[in-house]
Structure 1
Amino acid sequence: LAVRMQGIVLLGIFLKVTPFSEQAGMSDDEVMAGVEKALRKYFGRRGEAVVQANLDAVKRGHDEVIELPAEVIALQVNSPKFNGASDLITPVFAAQQEA
């Protein structure tokens, strides 16, 4: 995703990990319909491609967010035992394979 889309991706993540839809009594489809309506209002004059790109970014944030395993959260990045990014990535990929 482009750097400029990070904020809109966070909207999708927010909608997934918070109890927003549950407290609003809305299904995921209803929430996404509301998001699409808002995006069309805000970005509509810029064209369908812009609306669709933003909607896709929200949906990807919602659908692709993962929970980090506790061992990743507990890693001490400045520890002599830390071997770099692979120490962070390997447990995440392992958790995805188990899901």
Structure 2
Amino acid sequence: MIRVLIERHIAESLEPVYEERSRKILQRAVSAPGFVSGETLVDTDDPNHRFTLANWRSEADWQRWYGSDERKYLMAELVPMMDRDEVITVLQHAG
């Protein structure tokens, strides 16, 4: 299993719309092959700084979802609400 950390920063005043759209992406990811679980977290020092931590069965499953037309379509709605580029880190257990 791998974990994928997705870091996003939302432009000021777009939080409610962002929440709705980002929830839609996570809901769609749930049905993607290899998706295990996910959660969204907020930076306590900056409420516009958001993190999604998703567990995937394998990196291949994640890459399939990441490159999918469905994710690209959904992200096209989300990207204009962000004031920085999305940062994605793929993590695995050490050792």
Q: TM-score, normalised by structure 1?
A: 0.26
Structure with bigger helix share is 1
Larger RCO (CA under 8 A, 6+ residues apart): 2
Rg bigger for which structure?
Answer: 1
Structure with bigger strand share is 2
Q: TM-score, normalised by structure 2?
A: 0.26
